[in-house]
Structure 1
Amino acid sequence: MAGEKPSVELCKGVNGLDKVVLRDARGSSAEVYLFGGHVTSWRTDHREELLFVSNKAIFKPPKAIRGGIPICFPQFSSHGNLEQHGFARNKFWSIDTDPPPFPSDSSSKTFVDLILKPTDDDFKIWPHSYEFRLRVALGLGGDLMLTSRIRNTNADGKPFSFTFAYHTYFSVSDISELRVEGLETLDYLDNLKERERFTEQGDAITFESGVDKIYLSTPTKIAIIDHEKKRTFVLRKDGLPDAVVWNPWDRKAKAMPDFGDDEYKHMLCVEAAAIEKPITLKPGEEWKGRLELSAVPSSYCSGQLDPQKVLQG
């Protein structure tokens, strides 16, 4: 409730897995599992859940958790001998007790720092040395901020390349009532058509069937307007030029064992990502990718939203 003290607590989650619970002074909260460095909950100060996690999600390593914010690294999608979306989302992360200083761009006191480093077994599937630091923070207004810092620590002088996504599942009232703004007129790769390239034609994106698109060279802000809940999610991103929009729709939903048959109606993934142009790091170099999520009340019931108002607000 309002007036609480901000807190960061390590406790047990589903199936005894370790998780960190963040709470700010107004009552907003977030939960992060050490398995996957995976954010599974983000709640308003009224305790309303903003992220979607499937009722059938399997909290049993090494199966990645279905929903929340899985981290796709070192690849988005599937190529070569790495599993789909890489391995960061199904490794156990550690709490980073001595992170290097962050730029002072956050006034948040409510955060946790996690770190992932490769094990000897990991080198067999991806032969590179790295440090992946993740900060999950709650802002003063209940915003959720994720900052990833990936450093090449190869001793052999070799660079490495990777693609990346914050695979965010938003909880929505009804997929057919949503609009996504900020991606109009952009080029995208359609994963349902073998990554063929198209140009978005609509004045806003709405949903009548399954979608799996990678939008390219996207703006730093994207809005998801949920008419029924009178809520707009705003994504602000830095270092992440692409954006994935995904909903499996009914047929694919039924084919996924860890996803309810009708749950596709109440979720939408809009993912801040770096996919089209892989990031390459030389030894000692570091990349940073930041995502800030906010949920703002909106009373837009019809007609074109003026994105400037939402995106500047």
Structure 2
Amino acid sequence: MVHAVPRTVGPGERALYTALYPSRFALYSSDVFARACGLPASPLEDLAAFHVVFGKSVPDVSLNAVANLGYAEGRFLAPVWPGDTLATSSEVIGLKQNSNGKSGVVWVRSTGVNQHGAAVMSYVRWVMVRKRAPDAPAPETVVPELAGAVAAEDLVLPPGLDFTGYDFAAAGSPHAWEDYAIGERIDHVDGVTVEEAEHMMATRLWQNTAKVHFNATFREDGRRLIYGGHVISLARALSYNGLGNAQIIAAINAGSHANPCFAGTTVRAWSEVLDKAETAAPGVGALRLRLVATRAQSAGFALRDTDGRYLPEVLLDLDIWALMPRRG
């Protein structure tokens, strides 16, 4: 299905993204810094482009969703520049009715393209939606087989990217790819309290019309559910403290919105280094990171209970590949 209302993005989206999330990554803040890294200018932040592409799919996929559950096989295929026009199409690749017979899970693969028809990103997500008629027969169950992670050799790097002359002082962090070890965990220390007004502004900015984010009467508890992408961007922004040179998100390997988030929640974040890979781009290495957002009031790296279920304070469990400078 081709989703309606393509959108041209510009400097306004960049300014509003920075206003909504405490993002400080230099590549997305400075044209001068980006040019020194081999790019023609500073592109739109990866997740800002993701939100725009995601928002296009909402009216056809998740307008009446109970919740957006997770992601897989996400790849950022080309930078998005101010002035680009983004459009989205999606394909349903899986269906499974829940045991209650009143709802089910739908898997879709969405692709965002620019005005030239070139793909800028592709990802799979799955959502829980209500059945139109609870007594209707269940559709045939189809659960797609999804890769556990994007292979490092399948990462797409922006053309011309070159970190050999990387300015660590301007970026605000001294740590390079070599400084991180597989298994290392990083407490990002800071926290951001989610405000109702900021969330409402964000969902309107991204044209995300899902009713659970706008209509306080849609849920039985009378609360507006915070858009999961809002939590992703908050966690990514918080990760600057410890991963300030992880400049580019190249892939979303997997992700789960483990528990709902509501206004008034203070979001904190920590990361775990899952893997490392070299790339063909000069001076560029890739880190595979588990980025976890939590509402816990004290530092810690707990994720699941003894039965393997997410702890109630865990909001997001996101597995990504990020690109950063190498010294070698």
What interval of TM-score do these two structures reach, taking the shorter chain for normalisation? under 0.3
Greater strand percent: which structure? 1
Q: Which has the higher contact order (CA 8 A, sep 6+)?
A: 2
Greater helix percent: which structure? 2
TM superposition score normalised by structure 2? 0.25
